[in-house]
Structure formats: structure tokens, C-alpha cells
Amino acid sequence: MDAHDPLLASLNPEQRTAVLALHGPVLMVAGAGSGKTRAITHRIAMLIREGVAPSAILAVTFTNKAAREMRARVEQLVGRGGVRVGTFHGFCASFLREEFPVIGRSGDFTIYDESDSVALMKKVLAEMKLDPTQNRPADLLRSIGRWKDKFLTPAEAVQASTFGSEAVAARAYVLFDAMMLKANACSFDDLMVQALRLLLDHEVVRQRWQRRITHVLVDEFQDTNPIQYALVRTLSAATGNLCVTGDQDQSIYSWRGADPSNFDNFLSDHPTARIVKLEQNYRSSANILGAASRLIAHNKRRIPKTLRTEAAPGEPVRVVVFNDDQEEAAAVADSAQRAVQEGADPNEIAVFYRTNSLSLPVERALMARGVRYRVVGGLEFFARAEVKDLIAWLRWMVNRQDTVSFERIINTPPRGLGDTAVERMEALALERGMALPQLAANAAALATLPERTRKSALAFCKLIGVLEASFQEGRGVRPFAEELLEQTGYSGWWATKATKAGSLDPFGNIGQFLTLAAEFDSTRGGTLADFLADISLLTDLDRTVDDGPAVNLMTLHTSKGLEFDHVFIVGVDYSILPHVWAELESRDDEEERRLLHVGMTRARERLVLCAAQLRSRFGQTVVTGPSALLDELGRDGVERFGDEAPRRDPRPFRQRWRDADGDEWAGIDAPVGDDDDEAHPLAQLREGSRVFHADWGCGEVTGLRGAARGLDRKVVVLFDGNQRRTLILRHSGLTLLD
């Protein structure tokens, strides 16, 4: 091959092999920072140069962001677009929008996110007459999700589950899916389940897509679940042109059904597959790579792999243990600020953490120093009430069967159609054999309602008429959204409400949403349904416009696939990493180790790992201390500060205890026997007792709360001077005055 070929010149021999293996099954094992994206994009460019139509190439990435980057790089290489690059969810959504009519469903379905699904699950529970506190909707949805990951139908799940809570979940699954169908909605899991079912059950569809797509590439293959693998396997079955890329050491999504044994399945399904290994690391300093490699070597179930580097050792990896999370946050913020002052690009600085809640102290510390930052990922924006309201209105305009959205908007803003009114309308709808939304849009049918309800319902009905009249496809999403905000009276209502709640900029999020709509109108364009399908699959990560230089904050999971010059990882604490819940789910620590490994290998030049002895949790301070994983980094090229303390004994942090009354509660230590506590002077404290506190003075106990017993209860005190405080009795420092 020609070494001067621009598509090959910049590649090492391993990468060239990957690029040149154009047809047939290929497994690319690519360690962190080994130039995998480069190999994939050059491979796509090569395919196009060899005459494959761009639209016949499907590249599946893990995030929208990765998809955008890959698309841009391919376009830059070949000078033209058209390659199908997207996430599994994105591909399936557009597939279903086109193919649902084959089975008589509308392509204008609504994609339900987690909170929408919870709302629907609550209706399911109501129908089943189950108590939502006993059967938590989110738990049921998780069970259903696991069945869906395994491609089990509701009927099959019922058959497979005889045991108590599992049987309840299976019955909920049956009803939930029926209601989803009625609402013409799909959950994130459904997108893949329905797409695969269509492909498998309908030969016409299958052949259409197998002809349409001749080459399939999958990135982050270690994080695919069985359904996703079945999807790409089916799509590529006719040609066998399936190229998967991944690294088992970066498998961090087993909790959503990802199955690393897909690697083995791929090889047994494709015996002729070519295996290419990329083991040259181009990203990190030798010290960073060394520490990360020593860490991951502690995993037992792993094919040993060694990443090479030609980089200099660089500065040492630093491990710092602080007294508490405040100190930790302050130190990280100081260090980031100093780096910026010394000329570093803030965009090249990142702070990672295991759980989203850990971002808060860091955010405050950065804010206090005036350092600009952005929180990457998450759903904060799309979870805002006003954004959800507006989306619900738009959704319902497209899909009148969407009950979850309907119930959100029927009385938003308030128009006298509260719970009782809606119940009455539901009853009437049932009587008339109509769907509720249908009824709401039908003036004649509403005539029999009681005076007040009827008036409100008719007004709503009229409003729908006005909105329908002003809705014209092609005029753009933004103008319609603006009109909707006015016609429904939402703008005025929200302004008063938000101002009362103390918001300085009540239209901030709505404005951002409108900008998003305007962007859609001016770039991609399309119907309102297209727009809704797009934004349903977006996270805040994708909404981030170029907002200038800022330090990046994100979870370790979100960091996958990214790289930064400076990386700080906070909260490498006992009970946080490995996270205790991972233990409770009887998952071993290997995935948690991989998670830290992923975070570490994002760093190019500078890596700092932080832990704290004390950390605030639910507003209270708990003892944590450095994680045992920090011992596995070795000494070579690693500098430690404040990390001499012995590790805590590995007792699960969230140990469950049962008290004398049989009530279960969670805590660090075993409950102190009631016998000991009985003797304590505060044990006599009752509602109405007079008490004294060193900081707050005298006061009166107005209540005792919480599931705990004895001195572990919370006590509410109204101090003289009208200050109300809630304290844990044992640590309250109160003196009983009576």
C-alpha cells in the first residue's frame, strides 16, 4: 500500500490494518487513547473512496456528541456528508418513524423519557390498585428495562416470574406496554425493542434495510447490550460487513444491560473475523498511563493487554487526601484557577466524579473564585418544569393519544380543570366510548358536564381550535412555540409564578428552548414531530453551545471518549468508588475499577486523584476516607499527600439494620442498643419539652420525625426568636430544661 496515501500516511501499522480491512467482519480491540476514532474515520473515508455510497454506511456511536464529531471528521476527510452516524437510540427512532406504518402504527409517536415513564407507571399502579410507596415506579421500570434488554415480551416475563415482587413487576409490564401502545409512545428501551422486532418479523423491512446499509460500524462495542448486538448483526447479516470497536477495560455500563461477552459472541458468530489490536497510546504521559495500567491489572476477569507509549514520564500523578469535601473542592478550584492563570485553556481542564451530587461543592468553590465552568451531561435543562410543560404542549399537538403529556397540560396554566374535573371527563369519555383527548376537543360531547367544569372544558376545547388554526407545518417550530406560549397564557402565568418564587430570569430556560427550536428550523429543518424526536434524545451535553472557555465538570461515565490536558477526579473515597450500591447489587468491584481507569486515561498531562475523610451527605457529615483503589496505583510516578492513614475496614457503608420494632433503616454503624439510650437524659424528651441549645438559646420541641428510633430520631425545635431547626437528637447538643 502507498505510504503517501493521505488516508494512510498519518497512521501506524496497526491502524492501517484496521483501515484496509474494508470488508467482512472486523474486531478492533482499541485501548484508551490508541487513535481508535482516527482509525474508524479513515476507514469510513476509505470505504467511500472505494465506491461505497455514504448512505450505505451506518456508524453507531455511544453519544450524540461522538456522532457529531465523527460525522465532522469524515466530512472533512472526504469532502461530503451523507454517512449515517448516530446513536443506537437515534438510529432506531428514525427507523421507526419510517417503518412503524408497516405494522399500522403512526410514525409520529412520542418518545417517553424516564419521568414520563414514571408518570405512566403511576397510572398503571393505580389501575392495579397497588400502593406506589410499596411498589416504587422507578424499581418496576428497572425490572421491565432488564426484561427488555433481554428482548423478553410481557407475556414471556409473566411466564418466567412466579416469585412475589417479580410477578408483580411482570404484570405491571403487561399493563404498562398496553398503555404505552395506547399512548402511541415508546420508552428509550422500546426504540430498540420495536426496531429489532420489526426487522426480525417483517422480511420486507429487513431486506429493505439490508440492501440500504452495506457496511456497519459499532463504536464502544463493550457497552452494547444483547438487543443492540442483535440489531447490528441483523442489519449486516446479508453482507457480513460488520466492524466492531471496543475495549473491555472500558466496559462501564453493565447496569443497563451491556454485556462484554458480546465480544465472544461476535467471534463465534463471525469465525472469519479479522482481529486488529491498537495498543499504542498517543494521549497520556507515561506516568499517567503507568498508574492507570497498574490499576486495571488488578481486574481478574480480563484479557491482559499492555498499552505502549513513547511519551515522556511527565509530572507525577498526584493522590491527595483532604479532611473534608470543602477542603477538597477548594483545593481543586485553586489548582484549576492557577492553571488558568498560568495560561491553560479552561476547556482543557476537567473535574470528574462518581455521582452527580459530588459536583455541588466543586461548583461552589469555582463560583467563589470566579472561575467559569460548565456541568456537562445530565438532564437538568430538559427536566425543568417549564421546559417539560412546553414540550408536553408540543407533543400533544402532534400525538393526541399521548396521555402523559395531556395530563400535564390540561390544567397548565390552571384553567379550572383540576383532578376532579379530569376524573369527571374521564368517566364521560368512557361512557361515550371516546378517548379523553378526543372528548376534550369535542364541544358537543362536553355539554353534559356540570356547569363549572363544562365552561372550563369548553374554553380548553376552543383553545385547541385556535392552536390548530395557527399551526402550519413548514412555518417553523419556533414561531409556533412562541404562539403557543401566548395563546395558552403560559408566558404570563409562568412569569408571575417564577417571579414569586424569586427567579430573576423566569424566561431563561424557555428562551434557550426557543433558541434550540430556531436552530432546528435554520439547520436541519423538518416537521414538529421531527423536532420532538430529535430533542427527546438530547441530553444537556448536546445542548451545550460554544459558550466560551470554561472548566468542565462531569461524571466518570460521561467522561468516556473525551480527553483533557488536566484532569481532577474528586471523591475517590471509600463507599463512593467503588460505590456501595454496586456491592448491594452483588456486582463485584471490577466495573468500578474500570470506571476509575476510564477517568484516569482521559488525562494527557496532569492527573490528580482526590479523596476526603469526611463528606457531607444529605446535609449531614459522614465518615468516608480514601478508597482502597488508591493503593493499586503503585508508587512509581505517583506522589501522595495526606494519604498515610490506614484504610477503613471494608464494612458496607449502607448496611441495613433492623430495630426492635422490626423497622428497617440504613446507616454506617449498628444501632446503639435502646438500653443504653434509655439512661440518656434526652430520652425523656417529648413534644412540647423546653430545651436549651448553645447557639440557638431556649426553645420548644414541636415534633419528632424520621423512621429511626430513640436518640436517632430527628427533633424539630422552635427556638425563641422564631428560628426553626431540625436536629438529630443524639448529636443535637440539646439540654432538657423541664
Given a contact cutoff of 8 angstroms between Cβ atoms, the answer to whether 346 and 340 are in contact is: yes
Given a contact cutoff of 8 angstroms between Cβ atoms, the answer to whether 275 and 24 are in contact is: no
Given a contact cutoff of 8 angstroms between Cβ atoms, the answer to whether 696 and 690 are in contact is: no
Minimum separation from the CB atom of position 570 to DNA (A): 14
Cell of 295: 490499576
- Which residue in 221, 276, 232 sits closest to 26, CA to CA? 276
Q: Which of 29, 582, 685, 729 binds DNA (CB under 7 A)?
A: 582
| Complex with DNA: residue 15 or 575, whichever CB lies closer | 575
How far apart CA 208 and CA 277 sit, in angstroms, is: 34
Which residue carries 480491512 as its cell? 21
| Complex with DNA: residue 480 or 531, whichever CB lies closer | 531
Q: Which of 46, 199, 365, 417 binds DNA (CB under 7 A)?
A: 417
Cell of 119: 408518570
| Contacting range for DNA; rule: CB under 7 A; set: 393-401, 458-466, 638-646, 698-706 | 698-706
Coil, helix or strand at residue 109:
coil
What's the angle, vertex CA 539, arms to CA 284 and CA 409, rounded to 5? Answer: 170
Which residue carries 448529636 as its cell? 731
Q: Which of the 8 DSSP states describes residue 303?
A: -
Residue 664 interacting with DNA (CB under 7 A): no
How far apart CA 528 and CA 468 sit, in angstroms, is: 13
Residue 627 interacting with DNA (CB under 7 A): no
The number of C-alpha atoms within 13 Å of 656 and in the hemisphere containing its C-beta is: 6
The amino acid that residue 275 corresponds to is I
- DSSP-assigned letters across all residues of 392-421: HHHHHHH-TT-HHHHHHHTTSS--S--HHH
How far apart CA 271 and CA 268 sit, in angstroms, is: 5
Given a contact cutoff of 8 angstroms between Cβ atoms, the answer to whether 99 and 198 are in contact is: yes
Site for DNA in 226-285 (CB under 7 A): 253, 255-256
Per the DSSP assignment, residues forming a β-bridge with 551 are 373
Count Cβ atoms below 10 Å from residue 523 Cβ, excluding itself.
Answer: 7
Minimum separation from the CB atom of position 356 to DNA (A): 3
| Complex with DNA: residue 331 or 410, whichever CB lies closer | 410
Q: What is the dihedral of CA 129, 134, 135, 137, to 10 degrees?
A: 100
Q: Which of 41, 87, 284, 613 binds DNA (CB under 7 A)?
A: 87
- Which residue in 87, 425, 468, 45 sits closest to 215, CA to CA? 45
| Complex with DNA: residue 76 or 323, whichever CB lies closer | 323
Residue 133 interacting with DNA (CB under 7 A): yes
The amino acid that residue 20 corresponds to is L
| Complex with DNA: residue 46 or 551, whichever CB lies closer | 551
Contact characters 444-473, DNA, x per CB under 7 A: --------xx--------------------
Pairing label, strands 26-30, 564-569: unpaired
Residue 658 interacting with DNA (CB under 7 A): no
Minimum separation from the CB atom of position 64 to DNA (A): 6
Coil, helix or strand at residue 152:
coil
Given a contact cutoff of 8 angstroms between Cβ atoms, the answer to whether 19 and 39 are in contact is: yes
Q: Which of 370, 586, 618, 644 binds DNA (CB under 7 A)?
A: 618
The number of C-alpha atoms within 13 Å of 162 and in the hemisphere containing its C-beta is: 0
| Contacting range for DNA; rule: CB under 7 A; set: 84-92, 172-180, 259-267, 507-515 | 84-92
How far apart CA 473 and CA 467 sit, in angstroms, is: 12
| Complex with DNA: residue 314 or 561, whichever CB lies closer | 561
Site for DNA in 330-369 (CB under 7 A): 354-357
Residue 699 interacting with DNA (CB under 7 A): no
The amino acid that residue 25 corresponds to is P
State the catalytic residues. 36-37, 219-220, 250, 602
Q: What is the dihedral of CA 228, 231, 237, 243, to 10 degrees?
A: -40
| Complex with DNA: residue 26 or 124, whichever CB lies closer | 124
Site for DNA in 670-689 (CB under 7 A): none
Which residue carries 398503555 as its cell? 179
What's the angle, vertex CA 698, arms to CA 697 and CA 703, rounded to 5? Answer: 120
How far apart CA 732 and CA 41 sit, in angstroms, is: 61
Q: Which of 25, 33, 90, 625 binds DNA (CB under 7 A)?
A: 90
Q: Which of 41, 285, 558, 601 binds DNA (CB under 7 A)?
A: 558
What's the angle, vertex CA 110, arms to CA 529 and CA 72, rounded to 5? Answer: 60
Chain-centroid distance, C-alpha 663? 33
Q: Output phi, psi for 266, to 5 deg.
A: -60, -45
How far apart CA 461 and CA 283 sit, in angstroms, is: 60
| Contacting range for DNA; rule: CB under 7 A; set: 132-140, 319-327, 399-407, 644-652 | 132-140
Residue 508 interacting with DNA (CB under 7 A): no
Contact characters 562-581, DNA, x per CB under 7 A: -----------------x-x
Q: Which of 416, 465, 492, 525 binds DNA (CB under 7 A)?
A: 416
Minimum separation from the CB atom of position 208 to DNA (A): 24
Kindly state the number of chain residues that form the binding site for DNA, as judged by CB under 7 A.
53
Q: Which of 706, 720, 723, 731 binds DNA (CB under 7 A)?
A: 706
| Contacting range for DNA; rule: CB under 7 A; set: 49-57, 160-168, 426-434, 533-541 | 533-541
Residue 63 interacting with DNA (CB under 7 A): yes
| Contacting range for DNA; rule: CB under 7 A; set: 31-39, 601-609, 615-623, 631-639 | 615-623
Minimum separation from the CB atom of position 731 to DNA (A): 13
| Complex with DNA: residue 111 or 319, whichever CB lies closer | 111
Minimum separation from the CB atom of position 414 to DNA (A): 3
Given a contact cutoff of 8 angstroms between Cβ atoms, the answer to whether 713 and 706 are in contact is: yes
Q: Which of 176, 188, 513, 574 binds DNA (CB under 7 A)?
A: 188
| Complex with DNA: residue 133 or 341, whichever CB lies closer | 133
| Complex with DNA: residue 492 or 673, whichever CB lies closer | 492
Pairing label, strands 714-719, 185-187: unpaired
| Complex with DNA: residue 154 or 599, whichever CB lies closer | 599
Minimum separation from the CB atom of position 659 to DNA (A): 14
Minimum separation from the CB atom of position 541 to DNA (A): 6
Residue 491 interacting with DNA (CB under 7 A): no
Coil, helix or strand at residue 321:
strand
Residue 632 interacting with DNA (CB under 7 A): no
| Contacting range for DNA; rule: CB under 7 A; set: 128-136, 172-180, 194-202, 508-516 | 128-136
Q: Which of 214, 251, 335, 539 binds DNA (CB under 7 A)?
A: 539
Cell of 59: 456508524
| Complex with DNA: residue 167 or 716, whichever CB lies closer | 716
Return the H-helix or E-strand segment holding 565: strand 564-569
Output the CA–CA distances (angstroms, integers) from residue 508 to 538, 545, 548, in the order listed: 19, 15, 18
Residue 165 interacting with DNA (CB under 7 A): no
| Complex with DNA: residue 41 or 555, whichever CB lies closer | 555
Q: Which of 116, 189, 386, 712 binds DNA (CB under 7 A)?
A: 189
Q: Which of 98, 264, 345, 585 binds DNA (CB under 7 A)?
A: 585
| Contacting range for DNA; rule: CB under 7 A; set: 322-330, 344-352, 435-443, 611-619 | 611-619
Q: Which of the 8 DSSP states describes residue 670?
A: P
Residue 721 interacting with DNA (CB under 7 A): no
What is the binding site for DNA (CB under 7 A)? 62-64, 87, 89-90, 113-114, 132-133, 136, 188-189, 253, 255-256, 354-357, 377-378, 411, 414-421, 452-453, 500, 537, 539, 541, 554-555, 557-558, 579, 581-582, 585, 617-619, 703, 705-707, 716
